[in-house]
Structure 1
């Protein structure tokens, strides 16, 4: 099977590339805007620079490589940035999906598309795959619009909805709640952590595994791929502090109204993953196990 991954320089893209190469059953084409930042020698795969907002480039690259599966991870995911830069958000999260969908139709490729819990308003979470979407941010609106493009297309597709992805990029270029809490408490900083929002935090390796299971089975439809625990960020922070034996004396509970954020956040999301477990055999780590995995990765760097 030949698999093409977009956004290969990103956190999920990095984890997918490693997982796909470790599995050994795929010919891999990794794509990203600009140069290749993966630490893996290019003799093991093909890297192709790709601007997903450029229709001609998308059509050309996918026609050239003719993948059996496209796993589309590239997106603008900074929720506040999407609110401030709506045109760029729409280009990356919606128009680009139109280009990729068109290319998949022309080349008979199966499309796995990444979406988000932020398509929901957070009033009645956690959500299953049939729940009614009602985004309260521009980011959520853009991701829901992308889902509708697939739903109205003629291609075979899967939508992967996920939540609060955490993990370590090879170059430590991205922070996450574990790193932020660990570093802040080690430095004795006073931090406020939200305790009135609920999420099901997702280890990047688990999300990559879910995407690969879908692509190998060419399982059609919508799948929730997230962690198994429903936690507030404060609870995640406490678990992190306990794992690293750090004092929580400088950590305070806060509600979302304490923070000034450009975009609204849904209060209670989280995703129910029974479908993924039953249909795909997906089984994610607990958040405690995820902290241990991240800890080992931090130590190795």
Structure 2
């Protein structure tokens, strides 16, 4: 199978390239805006691609004619999406229109990545059939992209995920595990939110879920996340316990004490029964996820 990935320099993109080149026989085209930032350049072809440029999308998809396109490229900084709305819409919605058009022309299966932020967070965790009601512009943009795909004539799947964490090459982006570990090692006082709930997702698990959907060409919407329903404070406690760090500088807080541009849904998280049954998807526990990161840090 010939697979084209967008956003290959990002966290999920990097994990997908690693997984596909090491554990499958698929032909892989990795694309991203700008230069290739991946440490390993073998086992795939790299093509620079800005998916918000329709001509570039048509040219690259036309050149390689992939069987499957996995769209991991997006503007995911929730506060930035709130203030830079035109850029957010261009990358999260208009770019998806271009990918749909190219998929239709070249008969490609399109797998779109989506998010728990399409929900208001009043009654999570959610199934695939739950009614969407975003409370942020980021959520609105991702829901708009979903609607475009649902209304299209192509073969498609949507993988929704939650709070993805992991370690990527050449990326400064932190995550809750790294932040808690470093803060406690440095003896810093930290406040951690205890009134929001998520099912945090190890990036390797999300990549595996995407590959399962791809290989089965499983049509429809799939929840691909972790299985543990936790608050950030509970995640922080588990991190401290794993690394044997003192917890006396860590205190519970609530989200009203933090000034954030965009509103966050309080209780999301996903029910994974469909992905487990249809795909054989089996995520790591959060503790196992911490160990994966610890091993990668050496």
Q: TM-score range by the shorter chain?
A: over 0.9
**Counterpart residue number, 1:234:** 233
**Counterpart residue number, 1:276:** 275
**Counterpart residue number, 1:214:** 213
Runs of 5+ consecutive residues of structure 2 not aligned to the other structure: none
* TM-score, normalised by the number of residues in structure 2: 0.99
Shift of 1:298: 1.0
**Counterpart residue number, 1:288:** 287
**In the aligned structure 1, how far is the partner of 2:110 from the partner of 2:78?**
24
**Counterpart residue number, 1:262:** 261
**Counterpart residue number, 2:12:** 12
Shift of 1:190: 0.8
Q: Residue deviations 1:32-58, cap 9 Å, x none?
A: 0000000112x4210000001000000
Q: Residue deviations 1:9-53, cap 9 Å, x none?
A: 000000000000012320000000000000112x42100000010
**Counterpart residue number, 1:112:** 111
Runs of 5+ consecutive residues of structure 1 not aligned to the other structure: none
Range with bigger deviation, 18-27 or 147-156: 18-27
Range with bigger deviation, 225-234 or 172-181: 172-181
Within a 5 Å distance, the mapping from 1:124-143 to structure 2 comes to 124-143=123-142
Q: Residue deviations 1:119-141, cap 9 Å, x none?
A: 00000100000000000000000
**Counterpart residue number, 2:26:** 26
**In the aligned structure 2, how far is the partner of 1:190 from the partner of 1:84?**
30
Q: Residue deviations 1:85-118, cap 9 Å, x none?
A: 0000000000000000100000000000000000
Shift of 1:249: 0.8
**Counterpart residue number, 1:40:** 40
**In the aligned structure 2, how far is the partner of 1:295 from the partner of 1:176?**
13
Shift of 1:172: 4.5
- RMSD between aligned residues: 0.6
Aligned pair 1:195/2:194, yes or no?
yes
**In the aligned structure 2, how far is the partner of 1:294 from the partner of 1:222?**
28
* TM-score, normalised by the number of residues in structure 1: 0.98
**Counterpart residue number, 1:67:** 66
**In the aligned structure 1, how far is the partner of 2:176 from the partner of 2:241?**
14
**In the aligned structure 2, how far is the partner of 1:57 from the partner of 1:89?**
19
**Counterpart residue number, 2:176:** 177
> Alignment length, in residue pairs?
298
Within a 5 Å distance, the mapping from 1:242-257 to structure 2 comes to 242-257=241-256
**In the aligned structure 2, how far is the partner of 1:24 from the partner of 1:181?**
35
